Every structure is written in structure tokens, then in C-alpha cells.
A and B are shown apart, each in its own frame.
Chain A
Amino acid sequence: MEQIITNGLLMGFIYALVAVGLTLVWGVMDVINFAHGEFLMIGMYTAFWMYSLFSLDPLIGLPISMIVVFLVGVFTYFAIIRRVIDAPGLTALLATFGFSMFLKNFAQFLWTPNYRYINDAVVSGHSIKIGTISIGTPQIVASIGSIILTILVMLFMDKTRTGKAIQATALNKNTALLMGINTKKMYAITFGLSGACVGAAGALMSTFFPIYPGSGALYSVLAFVIVALGGFGNIKGAMFAGLIIGLTEAVGGYLLGTQFKYALVFLVYMIVIQVKPKGLFGW
């Protein structure tokens, strides 16, 4: 059981980093980015092509994945979100859904649906044994990377001028404008930051997860659950909710059957929102 709990926690940290980007956008802009899973996919492909074409290890290429998906995020804001942000919520939702379909199919057109693997990363093929617990090095590095990045995002939001400006924009856009905050720029940075987080997650996961056009799909769905469970816009909430989801999946799957592990995840979510409709840390 210690092994199962360890596995669950490691996956939970990774889920949390995927969800942090989504909760930022959702919390600040009240926009549900259906293309979030495809951003993850782009991060993974960036890591793969850096590795395949330039022999760049995914950990070394992680900043490149972050920058690429940051730019994708910024582009998404200016090309799509900016035009629909004041429209009814369904419009933005449909717009990002359409963009998600486009990205997935464009990736398949460019790179074929073949599964790609990075087998010779620095961390590949190694594991650490602590007593009876075996931990794959790719997973532990991904988890540590996720923790560090999540903390950095929290510090950015709490301690930097830009982070505080983003929070002010999230609280009240009009007042933020009156205070001289360039809200469009804050939205663009938020979307970019969301992309950077999930791009980093993609690079970290590329060392142990297959890379293909649909690779972000289930992670995206779990990210939605984590955001709702942790509280919209709450990064700390996303971290804890990610751990809950990771543990539920691992422990619940082990005890009740792995075919039910995702059903258990959604069951936990439904139970929590009965008690706390705005999520564990929402208010």
C-alpha cells in the first residue's frame, strides 16, 4: 500500500501542475479553456522535437517548452479570447473548444497519430528504491519539478507587482482599469502563464508518457475536476486537489478495481461539491 500511496502522490503533483494553468485562466478571466489539454500536448511535442532534432534532453529543453506554450497562450488570448471575453460564457467555451479540435487535428496532420516516446532522457530507465518502494526517476523528477513550479507561480502571484495586478484584475476589472492597470495585458500574461505551466508539465511528462495528438485529453478532463474541486482561481487549492485526485485514483483503483479509478475520481468530486459547492478552498 505504501507503493500505491507514493504513486498516487507523485501523479497528484503532476496533475496539480496541469491544473494550475487552468485555474489561473478560469479564476482570473472566468474563461474555461477547453484547449488546455492541447496546450499540454504542444508542450510534450516541443520537448519531443527538441530531443529528436537537437538531442536536447527534455529537462534541458523545459524552458523552451514553457516559452513555446507561453506564446501559444498569448496568441490564443489575442486571436480568440480577447474577442469573446465580454460575450456570454458559452461563446468563449465554444471558441476554445473549436480551437482545441483544430490544434489536435492539426497536430495529427503535421506529425501523424504515431505514438512518440523519449526513451533516452537522462532520467529514463532509472528508478530509486526506498525500502520496498520503487519510484521511477522520471516520475519523481516530474513531481519535484511540478512542486517547484507551482510554488513559483504562487510566489509570482503573491509577491510580484504583475501578480498582484493580475489578482486585482480578477477581483474587479473595471476598478483595476481605473487604477491604471492594463487589463488586456494582464489577461494576455495570464493566458501565457497558464500555457507556460502546462508546457512545463508537458516537458516533464514527456519522459514517461507517450506523445501523440490526443495525449492531453484525459489530463484536461482531470484538470477541470481538480480546478472545480480546489476552488476556481485558487492555486493552493489546485495543488491539494491534485493530490486528492492522484491518491483517489491510485488507492481507490487498487482497492476497488483499476477499471473504476476514474469513476472514483468523479465520485469524490461530486461528494465534495455537495458539501462545498465552490470547492475545498473556494469562497
Chain B
Amino acid sequence: MKSKLILLLVIVMVAATILPGCAGTEPEEPAEGGEDITQVDIGAVLPLSGGAAATGVKLQAAMEVAQDIINNEYPDLDIPLAATAGLPNMNNAKINITFADHQANPEMAKSEAERLIDQGVSALAGCYHSSATKPASQAAEQYGVPFVAGSSSSAALTERGLNFFVRVAPNDDMETGMFFEYLKYLNANNGTDISTVAVAYVDNEYGVHAHEMVEKWLENQYADEGFEYVGAVSYAGDVTNVDTEVQQIRDMDADALFHASYISDITMFVNKYKEFGVAPQAVLNYCGGFQDTQFVVNLGENGNYFAGGAAFSSDKLEDLPELAVINEMYKEKTDADLDGPALEEFASIMVIAEAINEAASLDGDAIMEVIHSKEFNAPYFATGAVKFDESGQNEVPASYVVQTLDEEYRAVYPEDISTTEPVAPIPPWDER
């Protein structure tokens, strides 16, 4: 009898933890118009625990900076909604971001999104992991709630034909094209002889799709321009060691390596590259762990010469005064500079707030109409604006190629954004 009671208790506990989104009740309808509204609720689903929690808390901090700017007066900050406190067209209603933790679990992302929608949020942001953004945004679509993804990079997210989903960061399709152009630039300007390409990727939505984009771009264009695919290595996200993976990469002996990895795995890879003497002429990283400032903190000089797409590098602060102010506010929370994903999540909150303000409504359709039609002024990005195309993709590329030099991220490509010349080929480990 006792054991049956215990078993029943376990079943109830397990059900309570894995079935929070299945209440089946209709979510609260957001209020129309602005007269009676004092607070606008926005949901943010992020990896706040688990393997990417280190990144997740930084994304949270960036969103809180956006909330602070929107809700308070910053008259000297020349970005939308900074001069006023709250949303002026919504009776100066303040925005309130409710954070939820998806633990890098797609099922959890979906249930947390549904829970937030049930609580009456007017829009959603997140989720960093493309594998989490996919189901969470699907839930948002079902309820007609706008979803603005800041930093999830899988191109598949904007190929679904959703009406309530947009994404700020360039997708891996765009990034892959940029990476190949960068390699061509290195061959033309740095005397490199890069022709063979390999891919190392984490085995999830993000990594798998990045790998597919490499194959696609090679097939459609860059194979004809002299590039050749030599292989790929995929691995589980919570891997205990990458010895075998690095062995396989070494065996491929590619001139350039594309990495789709998070902070824990890319750090292990770099240490193993040093141990096994693996030094391709160029290593390019999709939006992920490389862009997390912990990369240079953890690896020090071993992290030099790696490159990747990024929406932020500290060498651009001089050119972008608004970004410098935002960075200082962010540093007060995190003791670290912004990084690309954090800036993109910051932008996602700004886009949502501006759209709600311009629509003067919490109705999902009205908000999305503004999101799809408006060019958002974004002086914190090097490219200055955010504008979404029909598929929901930001057609103004938010990122450029950065390279870690002297343990700092430096803009190296394209030339009109770069602040320094790239170093290529990467020096062998025994020559550093």
C-alpha cells in the first residue's frame, strides 16, 4: 500500500514538472488600445540553466538593459523610446519582461512559451537555441502572439511560413555565404591558399542546419569557385571529451574549418586543437559559443586567431556612441562587454516595444503589421537598421566577421566595417 502511494506521488510529481503547458485553458486576451494599460507584459524564454546557462544569463541581462532604457528616460541616448519613460502611445505603460527557463530542452521551451502566453504576454522573445526557438515560436503562432527571435541562427526558422515570427540575427544561410566570401578575401589579400572546407557541429537543429548550409553553398556556388568539401564531424552537446572528434578533424586536414558549437564544446575543441597541433588556415564560427566573451576569458591567448560572425566587437564602440552607452549599462550587470547574441536579444526587445508602441495596441495582428512594414532604427548595430522581409528574416545583416587578436574581438571583414587586417593563415601552435 505504502509503495503504491509513493508510486502515485512520483507520478504526480513527474506530471507536474513535465506537463505545465497542457492546462488547455484559453490564454488571456491582451487588451486592445492604450488607455487602460499601465504595463505591457513580454515573455522571454532563455536557457537559464544547463549547458548554455552562462550565455542565457547574459542574454537576460541584455534584455533587462532594453527594459531599463524603454521604461526610463535617457534623453541623451539617441535610440527609439530612450527619451521617454514607457511607451508614449500606450499611456506611457512600462514593459515588464517575464523570463522562463527552457534548459536547452525543446519540449520545455514549448511548454514555457505556452505558460507565458497563458499568463497573457503580448509578445515573446528568445530562445537562443534554434532547437528551442522552433517549438516555442510554433506555440506563439498557434495563439497569434508575436515572437521576435534575437540570436537563433538556423535558417529553417524563417522557412516555415509563419506569420507571427521574425528573427533579428542573420541566419546560418547568410552567414555561410559571408564566410565563403571572407575566405575568398583571405585568398586574395592574405596569401592563403584555402580550398578545402570541413565542418564541426553540435548535433542539434543549430549545428545540423549550419552544416546543411555549407553543403548548399558549395553545391550552388563555391564549388565552382574552387572550394571543396572534405567532411564533417558532429557530436552530442553534452560531450565529456572531444578527443575522437579532434582526431577526425585532424585526419580531414582541411584548409578551413567551420564550427557550429556552444561555449563549452568550442572551449574543449580549442584546447584539444592545441594538444593535437590542429591549426587550419582559418577557423570560422557560427553564432554560438565563440561569440560569448567567456571564449577569450577561458582560453586566453589560445583563443587567438579564431573568427566568426558577430554583431558586436569592442573595437566598434568608438564608432557607435549609442552602443557604448548600452555596453556600459550591460557591463554593470555582467562585468563583461556585450557580445553578438546579447546585442541581438537586446534588439529583439527594442523591436517588440517599438512595434507595440507604433501599433498602439496589444493585438498580435496589429503588432506584426508594424513589424513587417517598418524599418527599425538601430544605431547600436554597425549596419544601423533592422528590417524584416516577407519570411521574417532581418534583411539588414546585423553581423560582420570578427577575429580574436590579442584576446580581443576585432572587426576584420567586410572592409567598410573592419578596424584591422585579419591574420591568416592561423600560425601553427608551436610558432605562437
On A, residues with C-beta under 8 Å from B are 3-4, 7, 11, 88, 90-91, 94, 104-105, 108, 112-117, 119, 125, 127, 134, 136, 208-210, 212-214, 217-219, 222, 249-250, 253-254, 257-259, 261-262
Query: Taking the nearest CB of chain B, how far is it from the CB of A29, in angstroms?
Result: 19
In the bound complex, residues from chain B placing their C-beta under 8 Å from that of A112 are: 54, 57
In the bound complex, residues from chain A placing their C-beta under 8 Å from that of B57 are: 112-113
The chain B residue sitting closest to A89, CB to CB, is B3
In the bound complex, residues from chain B placing their C-beta under 8 Å from that of A117 are: 267, 298-299
Enumerate 28 A-B pairs (CB-CB under 8 Å) in ascending A order. Answer: A7-B241, A7-B247, A11-B240, A90-B6, A94-B10, A112-B54, A113-B48, A113-B56, A113-B57, A114-B54, A114-B294, A115-B267, A117-B299, A125-B274, A134-B277, A208-B271, A209-B240, A212-B51, A212-B53, A212-B264, A214-B50, A218-B239, A222-B240, A253-B245, A258-B244, A258-B248, A261-B236, A262-B236
List 12 extra interface pairs beyond A213-B49, A258-B248, CB under 8 A: A104-B49, A108-B53, A115-B267, A115-B294, A136-B272, A136-B275, A212-B51, A214-B238, A218-B238, A253-B244, A257-B234, A261-B235
In the bound complex, residues from chain B placing their C-beta under 8 Å from that of A88 are: 2-3, 6
The chain B residue sitting closest to A210, CB to CB, is B264
| Residue in B48, B53, B241 whose Cβ sees the most chain A Cβ within 10 Å | B241
In the bound complex, residues from chain B placing their C-beta under 8 Å from that of A127 are: 275
User: Contact: B298 with A258, CB < 8 Å?
Assistant: no
Q: B53-70: which residues lie under 8 A (CB-CB) from chain A? A: 53-54, 56-57
Q: B294-332: which residues lie under 8 A (CB-CB) from chain A? A: 294, 298-300, 302
User: A222-B240, A258-B233, A259-B234 known; A115 and B248 CB under 8 Å?
Assistant: no
User: Contact: B6 with A108, CB < 8 Å?
Assistant: no
| Residue in A7, A91, A94, A125 whose Cβ sees the most chain B Cβ within 10 Å | A7
Q: 0/1 per residue, B356-384, Cβ < 8 Å to A?
A: 00000000000000000000000000000
Question: Is B243 an interface position by the 8 A CB rule?
Answer: yes
User: A3-B247, A90-B3 known; A259 and B235 CB under 8 Å?
Assistant: yes
Query: Taking the nearest CB of chain B, how far is it from the CB of A280, in angstroms?
Result: 22
User: Contact: A254 with B294, CB < 8 Å?
Assistant: no
In the bound complex, residues from chain B placing their C-beta under 8 Å from that of A217 are: 238
Question: Is B7 an interface position by the 8 A CB rule?
Answer: yes
Number of chain B interface residues as a range: 35 or more
| Residue in B7, B48, B245 whose Cβ sees the most chain A Cβ within 10 Å | B245
Question: Is B268 an interface position by the 8 A CB rule?
Answer: yes
In the bound complex, residues from chain B placing their C-beta under 8 Å from that of A262 are: 236
In the bound complex, residues from chain A placing their C-beta under 8 Å from that of B267 are: 115, 117, 210
Query: Taking the nearest CB of chain A, how far is it from the CB of B331, in angstroms?
Result: 15
| Residue in A11, A108, A113, A134 whose Cβ sees the most chain B Cβ within 10 Å | A113
Q: 0/1 per residue, B267-299, Cβ < 8 Å to A?
A: 110011011110000000000000000100011
User: Contact: A115 with B263, CB < 8 Å?
Assistant: yes
In the bound complex, residues from chain B placing their C-beta under 8 Å from that of A257 are: 234
User: Contact: A11 with B241, CB < 8 Å?
Assistant: yes
User: Contact: A4 with B247, CB < 8 Å?
Assistant: yes
User: Contact: A105 with B49, CB < 8 Å?
Assistant: yes
User: Contact: B10 with A90, CB < 8 Å?
Assistant: yes
In the bound complex, residues from chain A placing their C-beta under 8 Å from that of B49 are: 104-105, 108, 113, 213-214
Give complex CA distance A214, B239 in Å: 12
Query: Taking the nearest CB of chain A, how far is it from the CB of B237, in angstroms?
Result: 10
Q: 0/1 per residue, B236-263, Cβ < 8 Å to A?
A: 1011110111011000000000000001
The chain A residue sitting closest to B241, CB to CB, is A11
Question: Is B203 an interface position by the 8 A CB rule?
Answer: yes
